[in-house]
């Protein structure tokens, strides 16, 4: 039988992460979850262990132990203290998943997110909540969830399950719960134990007025909590206005793996935040605080806006693979510049990039091999200076070919020798007649030239002047020979 | 009952193709070069395979052929990558329009060039890659194990691009098509239009391996 006043179907969900402070830390450390780790609450007068991993529990460590006692039981135990930054990031992840269920959520407490599911189709409640639990697991937060007509009942349900529990019959559900579920005040525990009250059902069979008369206001609050009748309005949390994450490391980081592990967590959470807000990432700003008190910052512009975590992570990973910092990393920040998703229809003959992100990644990897400024689309500078070329980023879309030029390109292309080959040239009259270079030598059988060229004469450091000859050598080659103030050079081979 | 043993290698290939149809390479697709001497024999450059252009004489037209390929791909708006192991490409020898779709990677060594080639052949955005090894360190090229080329061939196979390796002597054992340019230009070539010169190129086909599926179909 349902308690009078309860709505007919579950309308609230609670996402619960037990031992939240511990899991907030573990999710930033690869492979920590399988090791014996204990969380030490050092805020108390006597620091004791407040949370444990299953491996630590198996080794005989228990909640309430002091550090020496715990280490005596398990010498391999890692003792950690709460990290507010890690908890803030984990809280953001929990709320992000909560917002993916409903815009009406409450940050109820550490590791507790209450979601108002009103407005959702009833049959979608449980699958959506199960999906949310899986997403939290993927974000490194093992969670349980409860679905019930009131926030309090949903919290009880989340605490009473290892996965997801739906409460359709509140009375039957509450009757079997231990009294501790309603968190009785310590002063009332012996009194209720004396009355033989062991479960919430034992308490609620007692008349409410009699309980209040004997136990006062605390008794009233406890009875109401035991009856699950409180259906309070949620203190709604506002969604994130910025898309950023930050963390300071306990130990300095010198290798890529721990850094990418944390960044993957950031990206996964920020991707959920972006999706909730209907945004995509246009740019990533990575900041690394270094142990020499300097800071490395890099903006990574994405070739096309995207909200896919895998692509965002690959962009960061590719950049970090090529990065060498002067000292170890002590902190990391990541900020995402949001933008609206690109909505477009590809033209029938449009030849944009098939995979813009893949191309950007390929280019980044290429730069890592050949170095910066050594790859790109060449653009000849507006200058007569020989070999004046700039490399620019490849265009996202190859433009349509224009009409054929009325001035055709003459002669075969030049293969440049960079740097030009120093040459010794024998002249007959004013014409070159024999050529010596380390690789090419022989009689010059025919020549064209000379052509005189000069430029930038108004800039002493850049001024240039040369005489240019096209020569045919007896080996069959066709070359460009130049005479500059510093001597003769073979500039290239026509090919 | 067992089938009688195949009498020739062609019959063996046919038999294997029937037994393992999924292992057959895709039908040969080609990138037409617009050079009559080449297209008439091979149809063009095979896609998903390596073509080697051996430039055995100086000024024999290796880059002229590349200029032609740039023109062809520009018309279809396909992207081209040039991996220039000896940093010898001269953009000023081409019209601006002809290199709008070009990604030029200026290498310093054979190893760098091969690393970049291995990255680029896996990119779905490219239609053609030219790996220019003509003036690269010949000692380093000789020391390369043949497996490097077969691995590159395996990487190219699933892609839809043509990988062209330009070398000064036969270097690529896994090349499906190998052509040789042997004739040098004369000085008069400098006063001819580039497109006319390209049409006069006469690449000699040294090797043209049929793909497995073609053999199976014989």
Is the Cβ–Cβ distance between B82 and B98 less than 8 Å? no
CA-wise closest residue to A158 among A76, A94, A205: A94
Is the Cβ–Cβ distance between A160 and A199 less than 8 Å? no
User: First vs last Cα of chain A: how many Å apart?
Assistant: 93
**CA distance linking residue A127 with residue A122, whole number of Å:** 10
* Token digits of residue A192: 């209720």
Q: Is residue A168 part of a domain?
A: yes
- Which of these ranges, A1-5, A272-276, B64-68, has the smallest mean pLDDT? A1-5
Q: Do residue B106 and residue A359 have CB atoms under 8 angstroms apart? A: no
Of the residues A339, A371, A388, the one at which a domain ends: A339
Q: How confident is the model at residue B207 (pLDDT cuts 50, 70, 90)?
A: confident
Write down the pLDDT at residue B129: 94
Write down the pLDDT at residue B188: 87
Indicate whether A295 and A434 sit together in one domain: no
- Please name the residue of chain B whose CA is at the shortest distance from the CA of residue A447: B187
Of the residues A304, A339, A374, the one at which a domain ends: A339
What is the CATH classification number for the domain harbouring A255? 3.30.1490.100
pLDDT of residue B31 exceeding 70, the answer is: yes
Architecture of domain B30-209: 3-Layer(aba) Sandwich (3.40)
pLDDT of residue B192 exceeding 80, the answer is: yes
The number of beta carbons lying within 10 Å of the beta carbon of residue B5 is 8
The total number of structural domains in chain A stands at 3
Give the count of Cβ contacts less than 8 A between chain A and B: 191
The better pLDDT of the pair B216, A177 is held by A177
Q: Is residue A356 part of a domain?
A: no
pLDDT of residue A399 exceeding 90, the answer is: no
- Please name the residue of chain A whose CA is at the shortest distance from the CA of residue B59: A495
Write down the pLDDT at residue A9: 58
Q: How confident is the model at residue B214 (pLDDT cuts 50, 70, 90)?
A: very low
Q: What is the mean pLDDT of residues A423-441?
A: 88
Domain boundaries, chain B: 30-209
pTM (predicted TM-score) = 0.65
Is the Cβ–Cβ distance between A141 and A157 less than 8 Å? no
pLDDT of residue A348 exceeding 80, the answer is: no
Q: What is the mean pLDDT of residues A197-216?
A: 88
Write down the pLDDT at residue A157: 92
The better pLDDT of the pair A161, A3 is held by A161
Q: What is the mean pLDDT of residues A52-77?
A: 90
Q: Is residue A206 part of a domain?
A: no
Q: For chain B, what is the mean pLDDT?
A: 84
pLDDT of residue A311 exceeding 60, the answer is: yes
Write down the pLDDT at residue B209: 75
A455 touches chain B (CB under 8 A): no
Q: How confident is the model at residue A18 (pLDDT cuts 50, 70, 90)?
A: very high
Indicate whether A71 and A168 sit together in one domain: yes
Q: Is residue A153 part of a domain?
A: yes
**CA distance linking residue A108 with residue B218, whole number of Å:** 74
Write down the pLDDT at residue A347: 59
Q: For chain A, what is the mean pLDDT?
A: 87
Q: What is the mean pLDDT of residues A205-220?
A: 88
Q: Do residue A391 and residue B105 have CB atoms under 8 angstroms apart? A: no
Q: Do residue A415 and residue B185 have CB atoms under 8 angstroms apart? A: no
Of the residues A339, A367, A383, the one at which a domain ends: A339
Q: Do residue A412 and residue B92 have CB atoms under 8 angstroms apart? A: no
Indicate whether A294 and A156 sit together in one domain: no
- Please name the residue of chain B whose CA is at the shortest distance from the CA of residue A493: B59
Q: What is the mean pLDDT of residues A162-169?
A: 90
pLDDT of residue A4 exceeding 60, the answer is: no
Q: How confident is the model at residue A3 (pLDDT cuts 50, 70, 90)?
A: very low
A439 touches chain B (CB under 8 A): no
Write down the pLDDT at residue B5: 61
Q: Which residues of B touch A399 (CB under 8 A)?
A: 77, 100
Q: Do residue B103 and residue A417 have CB atoms under 8 angstroms apart? A: no
Residue B2 DSSP class: P
pLDDT of residue A369 exceeding 60, the answer is: yes
**CA distance linking residue B137 with residue B110, whole number of Å:** 7
Over residues B74-95, the pLDDT tens digits come to: 888 889 999 999 899 999 998 8
Which stretches of B110-210 are assigned E, i.e. beta strand?
A: 126-132, 162-167, 177-181, 204-208
Indicate whether A132 and A253 sit together in one domain: no
A401 touches chain B (CB under 8 A): yes
pLDDT of residue A93 exceeding 90, the answer is: yes
Write down the pLDDT at residue A343: 62
Q: Is A244 exposed, middle or buried, given 0-12, 13-18 or 19+ CB atoms closer than 10 A?
A: middle
Write down the pLDDT at residue A267: 94
What is the CATH classification number for the domain harbouring A67? 3.40.1170.60
Domain around A455? 414-494
Q: What is the mean pLDDT of residues A160-168?
A: 90
- Please name the residue of chain B whose CA is at the shortest distance from the CA of residue A415: B88
Write down the pLDDT at residue A349: 55
Q: Where do we find the tokens 């200076």?
A: A385
Q: What is the mean pLDDT of residues A268-281?
A: 91
Over residues A143-161, the pLDDT tens digits come to: 999 999 889 999 999 998 9
- Which of these ranges, A466-475, B23-32, B146-155, has the smallest mean pLDDT? B23-32
Over residues A234-260, the pLDDT tens digits come to: 899 888 788 999 988 888 888 888 899
Q: What is the mean pLDDT of residues A212-234?
A: 86
Q: Do residue A410 and residue B190 have CB atoms under 8 angstroms apart? A: yes
Q: Is residue A355 part of a domain?
A: no
């Amino acid at each position: 039988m349902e308690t009078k006043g309860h709505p007919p179907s579950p309308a609230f969900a609670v996402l619960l992460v037990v031992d939240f402070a511990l899991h907030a830390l573990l999710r930033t450390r690869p492979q920590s979850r399988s090791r014996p780790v204990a969380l030490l609450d050092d805020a108390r007068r006597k620091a004791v262990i407040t949370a444990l991993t299953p491996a630590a529990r198996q080794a005989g460590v228990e909640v309430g132990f002091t550090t020496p006692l715990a280490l005596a039981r398990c010498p391999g135990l890692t003792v950690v203290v709460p990290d507010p930054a890690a908890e803030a990031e984990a809280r953001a992840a929990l709320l992000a998943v909560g917002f993916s269920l409903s815009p009406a959520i409450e940050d109820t407490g550490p590791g507790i997110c209450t979601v108002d599911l009103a407005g959702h189709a009833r049959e979608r409640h449980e699958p959506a909540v199960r999906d949310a639990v899986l997403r939290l697991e993927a974000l490194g937060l093992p969670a349980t969830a409860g679905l019930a007509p009131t926030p309090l009942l949903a919290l009880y349900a989340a605490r009473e399950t290892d996965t997801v529990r739906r409460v359709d019959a509140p009375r039957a559900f509450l009757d079997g719960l231990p009294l501790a579920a309603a968190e009785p005040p310590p002063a009332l525990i012996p009194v209720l134990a004396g009355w033989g009250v062991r479960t919430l059902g034992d308490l609620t069979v007692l008349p409410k007025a009699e309980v209040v008369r004997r136990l006062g206001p605390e008794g009233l609050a406890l009875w109401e909590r035991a009856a699950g009748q409180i259906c309070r309005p949620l203190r709604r949390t506002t969604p994130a206005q910025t898309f950023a994450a930050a963390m300071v490391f306990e130990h300095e980081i010198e290798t890529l793996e721990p850094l990418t592990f944390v960044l993957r967590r950031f990206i996964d959470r920020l991707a959920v935040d972006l999706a909730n807000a209907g945004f995509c990432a246009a740019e990533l700003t990575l900041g690394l605080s270094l142990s020499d008190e300097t800071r490395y910052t890099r903006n990574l512009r994405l070739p096309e806006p995207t909200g896919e975590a895998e692509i965002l992570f690959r962009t960061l990973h590719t950049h970090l693979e090529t990065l060498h910092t002067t000292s170890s990393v002590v902190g990391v920040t990541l900020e995402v510049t949001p933008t609206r998703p690109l909505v477009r229809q590809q033209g029938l003959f449009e030849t944009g990039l098939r995979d813009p992100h893949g191309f950007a990644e390929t280019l980044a990897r290429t730069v890592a091999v050949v170095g910066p400024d050594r790859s790109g689309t060449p653009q000849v500078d507006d200058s007569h200076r020989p070999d004046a070329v700039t490399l620019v980023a490849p265009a996202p879309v190859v433009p349509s070919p224009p009409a054929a030029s009325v001035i055709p390109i003459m002669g075969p292309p030049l293969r440049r020798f960079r740097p030009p080959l120093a040459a010794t040239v024998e002249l007959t009259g004013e014409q070159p007649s024999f050529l010596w270079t380390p690789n090419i030598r022989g009689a010059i059988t025919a020549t064209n030239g000379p052509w005189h060229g000069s430029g930038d004469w108004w800039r002493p450091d850049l001024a240039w002047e040369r005489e240019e000859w096209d020569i045919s050598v007896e080996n069959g080659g066709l070359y460009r020979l130049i005479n500059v103030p510093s001597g003769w050079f073979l500039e290239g081979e026509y090919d | 009952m067992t089938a009688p043993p195949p009498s020739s290698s062609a019959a063996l290939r046919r038999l294997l193709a029937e037994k393992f149809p999924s292992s057959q390479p895709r039908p040969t697709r080609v990138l037409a070069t617009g050079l009559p001497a080449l297209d008439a024999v091979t149809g063009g450059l095979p896609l998903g395979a390596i073509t080697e252009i051996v430039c055995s004489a100086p000024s024999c037209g290796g880059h002229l052929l590349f200029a032609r390929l740039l023109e062809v791909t520009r018309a279809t708006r396909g992207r081209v990558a040039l991996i220039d192991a000896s940093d010898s490409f001269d953009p000023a020898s081409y019209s601006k329009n002809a290199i709008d779709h070009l990604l030029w990677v200026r290498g310093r060594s054979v190893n760098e060039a091969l690393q970049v080639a291995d990255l680029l052949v896996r990119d779905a955005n490219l239609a053609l890659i030219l790996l220019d090894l003509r003036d690269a360190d010949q000692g380093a090229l000789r020391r390369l194990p043949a497996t490097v080329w077969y691995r590159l061939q395996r990487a190219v196979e699933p892609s839809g691009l043509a990988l062209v390796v330009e070398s000064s002597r036969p270097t690529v054992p896994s090349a499906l098509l190998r052509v040789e340019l042997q004739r040098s230009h004369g000085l008069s070539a400098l006063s001819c239009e580039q497109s006319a010169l390209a049409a006069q190129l006469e690449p000699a086909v040294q090797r043209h391996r049929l793909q497995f599926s073609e053999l199976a179909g014989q």
